[in-house]
Amino acid sequence: MTLQSRNEKRLLMVAASRADECRAGRLFAEDGIEVHFCGNLSQLIQQVELGAAAVLINARIVSADYVRPLLRTLERQPTWSDLPVILVTAEERPGWLNRKPVANVTILRQPVHMETLLSVVRSAITSRLKQYEVRDLLEEQERTQAELRKVDRRKDEFLATLAHELRNPISPIQNALDLLELSQMSLQEETELREIMRRQVKQLTRLVDDLLDVSRITRGRIRLERQTIDLRDAVRAGIEASQPFIDQSDQTLEVDLGAQPLMVKGDATRLAQCVANLLNNAAKYTPAGGRVRVGAEATPGMVVLTVQDNGIGIAADQIDSVFELFRQHDTDRQRGQAGLGIGLTLVQRLLRLHAGTIEVHSDGLGQGSTFTVRLPVAVPCNSTTQDSPSPTSACPSRFRVLVVEDTPAIRTVLQRLLEAIGHEVIIAEDGVQGVEEAMAQKPQVVISDISMPRMNGLQLARRLRRHPAFNETPLIAMTGYGRAEDQAEALEAGFNHHLTKPVDIAELRRVFANLRVVETAVSTPASSDGSKP
């Protein structure tokens, strides 16, 4: 509970005497009411500003002069607020109250029965808490309206930019058509005009495709054609698509993809699209004569791709919003290349579908930008080596598979399915039993659910990865959680693959076809960090 929310449940009281304060303290404490005693009305007014559920005062310590600041405080309340005031008095109604009416005052005539006092205080606090609920609803409504106003402004900006971006390619198309009608041209001139129109039509197509792709991803209707590919091929395809724009911008492109294959599992066309968008973005925000660099390398478990430029850079307060839809950070309209603000959003969402990530770094305006993409490594299955086949790198058609699944029906069907396609299956009903079976049965592959009692699949993967015998054992997550962040979490925990239920048999076959299995030699002693897995 925050200090403010606790203050809002307090009863503020100015007692007539120390004895009254002690009696009231015991009475309210027994009833679970938090009371804050103030020495005088000035202190009480200060506490009201910090939050209160109700105010209890004795008329004996109140005079018209002293009560005026309190009345002014009550008059300044916001529209939702009507702070309950409980006045204990021997009079019928104090004169100062008649001269300055206050709406929410409850008068208790002395002597006051304790149960009556408690009942009135409880009712006042309940009434006040309802007022705070109204306040919270009003504040939430205001926040929602502010966000809607922000979205509305962004929509207007996007529509204006969309109109601008569409007119850019439409204008030369229209002008080229006019020229073809009005003047006699040589074959070379007509060819040049047609090439201009062809380029502009491609630009229009790209704009429309990007918009449709963002919509498809948002609605979950985009499908990836996943294969194990060399990421360098996708990068080269992306470079080929962006090269004309980079050349047109009079920039130098440097490429360093290394000599070794960079194997990932993904949609080659979509990954090339990501690279092209990153290159177009770099070229767009880099002045003529600038430099754009593309690099890729393999790191443990990941392939890392970087796109770096020495362009206009990104301000520190804009870094976090770079990937927001329709957000543009080029405030210099003289550049004339604002874009729709969807390219980087599309890249981020496509990479999430590949269980990948993207981040951006810039030292500030004028310092250029670096976009870093990380994708999980896909280890290709090689049945032979340059020397002779090795049992530790072979790809057998029959695997010893441990299935960890807490739902009996799924566990049984998956066991029979794997056995039907030729594998030996060991089953476990949760993560704890899964670890035990792994130690005893030495599986070549582990398939595990994520959400399970006692020990979930993420914990299971981490426990197995801590044991040196399972450093390279293929771990496959098979779960109903299919969001990009779920896939990333599974891969981070140690899984090599993430399959979403219900798993397609063809997809399962493809996963097994690409596995490189290391024979597991498990002993019961502690793992390398001194703890049992």
SS (H, E, C) 258-290: CCCCCEEEECHHHHHHHHHHHHHHHHHCCCCCC
Instruction: Determine, yes or no, domain membership for 318.
Output: yes
Handedness of CA 424, 426, 427, 431 (dihedral sign): negative
Instruction: Determine, yes or no, domain membership for 148.
Output: no
Instruction: Determine, yes or no, domain membership for 100.
Output: yes
Task: Using only the alpha carbons of the chain, give its radius of gyration.
Answer: 35
Residue 428: strand pairing partners = 404
CA separation for the pair 125, 123 (Å, rounded): 5
What's residue 332's pLDDT? Answer: 47
Nearest by Cα to 524 from 431, 462, 442, 456? 442
Pairing of strands 400-404, 445-448: parallel
Domain count of the chain? 3
Contact of 435 with 410, CB cutoff 8 Å: no
Q: Is the same domain home to 231 and 368?
A: yes
What's residue 16's pLDDT? Answer: 78
Nearest by Cα to 142 from 213, 79, 211? 79
Q: Is the same domain home to 241 and 353?
A: yes
Q: Is the same domain home to 132 and 68?
A: yes
What is the DSSP code string of 348-373?
HHHHHHTT-EEEEE-SSTTS-EEEEE
Q: Is the same domain home to 131 and 262?
A: no
Instruction: Determine, yes or no, domain membership for 430.
Output: yes
Q: Is the same domain home to 360 and 234?
A: yes
Contact of 372 with 361, CB cutoff 8 Å: yes
Contact of 354 with 375, CB cutoff 8 Å: yes
In the chain, the amino acid numbered 105 is: V
Q: Is the same domain home to 252 and 348?
A: yes
- The neighbour count for residue 44, using CB atoms within 10 Å, is 22
Q: Is the same domain home to 316 and 427?
A: no
What's residue 521's pLDDT? Answer: 46
Residue 386, CA distances (Å) to 382, 383, 390, 472 in order = 10, 10, 11, 22
What is the mean pLDDT of each successive set of 10 residues along the chain, which is 533 residues long? 76 86 89 90 88 87 71 87 88 66 79 89 93 93 90 74 70 82 82 82 72 67 82 91 84 92 90 90 90 93 94 87 68 46 82 92 92 86 41 58 89 85 91 93 92 90 91 88 77 89 75 67 41 42
Q: Is the same domain home to 441 and 491?
A: yes
CA separation for the pair 99, 86 (Å, rounded): 18
Q: Is the same domain home to 17 and 127?
A: yes
Nearest by Cα to 307 from 335, 334, 278, 331? 278
Could you list the residue range(s) of the whole structural domain that residue 412 is in?
400-513
Residue 292: strand pairing partners = 253, 309
Which CATH number goes with the domain that contains 459?
3.40.50.2300
CA separation for the pair 145, 139 (Å, rounded): 10
CA separation for the pair 481, 502 (Å, rounded): 11
Instruction: Determine, yes or no, domain membership for 184.
Output: no
Q: Is the same domain home to 367 and 241?
A: yes
Handedness of CA 495, 500, 503, 504 (dihedral sign): negative
Q: If residue 427 lies in a helix (H) or strand (E), which one and from where to where?
A: strand 424-428
Locate tokens 């929509």: which residue? 155
Q: How far is CA 405 from the centre of its chain?
A: 28
Residue ending a domain, among 138, 158, 186, is 138
Contact of 296 with 305, CB cutoff 8 Å: yes
pTM (two decimals): 0.44
Contact of 524 with 438, CB cutoff 8 Å: no
What's residue 20's pLDDT? Answer: 83
CA separation for the pair 377, 262 (Å, rounded): 8
Q: Is the same domain home to 48 and 16?
A: yes
Locate tokens 């426990």: which residue? 463
Contact of 475 with 464, CB cutoff 8 Å: yes
Handedness of CA 405, 408, 410, 414 (dihedral sign): positive
Q: Is the same domain home to 358 and 304?
A: yes
Instruction: Determine, yes or no, domain membership for 409.
Output: yes
SS (H, E, C) 489-516: HHHHHCCCEEEECCCCHHHHHHHHHCCC
Tokens of 239: 């470079």
Residue 426: strand pairing partners = 402
Instruction: Determine, yes or no, domain membership for 171.
Output: no
Which CATH number goes with the domain that contains 279?
3.30.565.10
Instruction: Determine, yes or no, domain membership for 445.
Output: yes
CA separation for the pair 124, 492 (Å, rounded): 53
CA separation for the pair 315, 8 (Å, rounded): 41
CA separation for the pair 23, 38 (Å, rounded): 15
